[in-house]
A and B are shown apart, each in its own frame.
Chain A
Amino acid sequence: MDLSSFILQQIINAIFLGSIYALIALGYTMVYGIIELINFAHGELFTAGAFIGVIVLTALQQIGWVETHFVLTMIIVFSMAMAYVAVLGVAVEHVAYKPLRTSSRLSALLSALGMSIFLSNGMMLSQGVSDRPYPQVFGVEGIEFMGARISNGQIFIMLLAVALMVSLQLFVHRTRLGKAMRATAQNKVMARILGIDIDQTIRITFMIGPALGAAAGVMVGLHYGAVRFDMGFLFMIKAFAAAILGGIGSIPGAMLGGLIIGGIEVMWAAFLPSAWKDVTTFTVLILVLYLKPSGLLGKGSAEVRV
């Protein structure tokens, strides 16, 4: 493979990885935008989605639907994962964050951390410590052009990711509830004065954000072939870096940040010793937080833009 196709391949991989990071980052950014809290449990919600995915998929595979009703299978798998995690997200908000809305930031952060530990260990108990393999759904076939290849699986996942992100944009800009979310993120008190129910708006945010994370979880499982109870941690950090990089609270920012972080990771792994790629991501995170905490698409510090 010559250099240009190699680079093209890396770009494809970067966009692929980036879209997944973007989906997870969206969950962070939406929640932070509306209640100014880092949802530490988000990584676990992502993992839970992946587990639901593998459970449902395995069941459907056993009755043969993966071959016969592929699209329907995918719809069911993703919907169930997203629906379950949406409910789980609301539960987390209700139990761990809502009671602390008026308390100090430290308390809310610690509560979030506690939730994260609780959920990840819960999953460890029920799902075991080892990798849980995903059924092979996509073959190795794909499209080749200019010396690089995209597998069918990658195409499917990227299309789905884009579809989800577009849907989110439409929801947030065109629907009544979506605009209520933006308004709440920009000025809570004013939103209440206009009659917007803050509690409900926050709940909806905690349904959509984690649901997107769950979709990303299923995608990761489908692509990499396995899920583990602790895979959420690393993805969480990277997605958080993406959200900050793009400007926390900004939906387009999360998408942009995801692509950039994906790009950095892929490019690093391609040309430099890949064992250190995670160190790179962490370093990028710290640099961003130190040099430009408002991110690329951000204007002030920690301003919320949805």
Chain B
Amino acid sequence: MVKAQAILELSDIHTYYGNIHALKGVSCSISKGEIACLIGANGAGKSTTLMTIFGVQPATQGEILFKGKPIQKLRPEKVAALGVSQTPEGRQIFPRMSTFENLEMGAFLRKDKTEVQQDLDWVFSLFPRLKDRMKQLGGTLSGGEQQMLAIGRALMSRPELLLLDEPSLGLAPKLVEKIFETILEINKSGVTIFLVEQNAHMALTISGTGYVMETGRIVLSDRASALLENEQVQKAYLGE
């Protein structure tokens, strides 16, 4: 398999929640421009992986390279400044800030006003519903709208790498389809995407590379299309 240049590499990452050994030697590599996904059961450690990448739950061991530079010791603010963005689990919308302000916060680190406006227009073109809700407080939006807002907010920093944590959670199937279509579109514009999902089918369908995680370890890694055909994966995660 010929891989393009790796934008994110994890090597033997260990993370602890107090006494609990959440990640036990996780390694993976994501190429620039692709969509990679991490699937697994609840509590396997998928969200922890994203939190570790961002430094919110710092790794106690191992190395994380972003564009070749180690970031495992960086604070989250610094990671964000490098061009990584995240839509965390539960969306984490600022409930008492308007849709517009939430998006503004996404562009917090940027100084180029005109470009920010361009990105704002782009986000509204991806999610027209957000434009209608522009002045509404984030906490009053529906689940689907909050998900769109969360993704839009993450895009406002013009990231090179976008981490998505369970974008389909709690959403109706039609909405899930729409979200995943949008994810494809975002990827086409050049953003590398690392997707953590419980909905294995949708995730593997749009991804290039797939990783399967169980109790803090990566147990399978392959091209997503191959994983879709994989018997074990089918039994465990695809319900067949």
Q: Is there any pair of Cβ atoms, one from A and one from B, under 8 angstroms apart in the complex? A: yes
Interface residues of A, Cβ cutoff 8 Å to B = 176, 179-180, 182-183, 186-187, 189-198, 305-306
CB-contact partner of A195 in B96, B104, B108, under 8 A: B108
Contact check, B94 vs A176: say whether CB atoms are below 8 A apart: no
7 residue pairs, one from A and one from B, having the closest CB atoms: A195-B80, A192-B76, A190-B92, A195-B109, A186-B94, A195-B77, A197-B77
What chain A residues lie within 8 Å of B54 (beta carbons)?
Answer: 193
CA distance A306 to B86 in the complex (A): 24
Contact check, B92 vs A189: say whether CB atoms are below 8 A apart: yes
CB-contact partner of B97 in A183, A189, A195, A197, under 8 A: A183
Contact check, B77 vs A190: say whether CB atoms are below 8 A apart: no
CB-contact partner of B94 in A190, A197, A198, under 8 A: A190
Bitwise interface map of B from 144 to 163 toward A, beta carbon under 8 Å scored 1, else 0:
00000000010001000000
What chain B residues lie within 8 Å of A186 (beta carbons)?
Answer: 94-97
CA distance A127 to B85 in the complex (A): 53
Contact check, B94 vs A189: say whether CB atoms are below 8 A apart: no
B175 within 8 Å of A by Cβ? no
What chain A residues lie within 8 Å of B56 (beta carbons)?
Answer: 189, 192-193
Contact check, A194 vs B106: say whether CB atoms are below 8 A apart: yes
Contact check, B96 vs A193: say whether CB atoms are below 8 A apart: no
| Besides A182-B97, A193-B85, 18 new A-B residue pairs in contact (Cβ under 8 A), listed by A number | A179-B97, A179-B104, A179-B105, A180-B105, A180-B108, A182-B94, A182-B96, A186-B95, A187-B94, A189-B76, A189-B88, A189-B92, A190-B88, A192-B80, A193-B76, A193-B88, A195-B81, A195-B108
A-B contacts, 17 of them at CB < 8 A, read A176-B108, A180-B105, A180-B108, A189-B76, A189-B88, A189-B92, A190-B92, A192-B75, A192-B77, A193-B54, A193-B92, A194-B80, A194-B106, A194-B153, A195-B81, A195-B157, A197-B77
Q: How far is the CB of A238 from chain B (nearest CB, A)?
A: 27
CA distance A305 to B94 in the complex (A): 10
Residue on B with the closest CB to A184?
Answer: B94
CA distance A305 to B95 in the complex (A): 9
What chain A residues lie within 8 Å of B101 (beta carbons)?
Answer: 179
Contact check, A194 vs B88: say whether CB atoms are below 8 A apart: no
Contact check, A193 vs B97: say whether CB atoms are below 8 A apart: no
What chain A residues lie within 8 Å of B80 (beta carbons)?
Answer: 192-195
CA distance A190 to B105 in the complex (A): 10
CA distance A197 to B95 in the complex (A): 20
Bitwise interface map of B from 179 to 216 toward A, beta carbon under 8 Å scored 1, else 0:
00000000000000000000000000000000000000
What chain B residues lie within 8 Å of A182 (beta carbons)?
Answer: 94, 96-97
CA distance A186 to B51 in the complex (A): 19
Q: How far is the CB of A291 from chain B (nearest CB, A)?
A: 24
What chain B residues lie within 8 Å of A192 (beta carbons)?
Answer: 56, 75-77, 80
CA distance A176 to B81 in the complex (A): 16
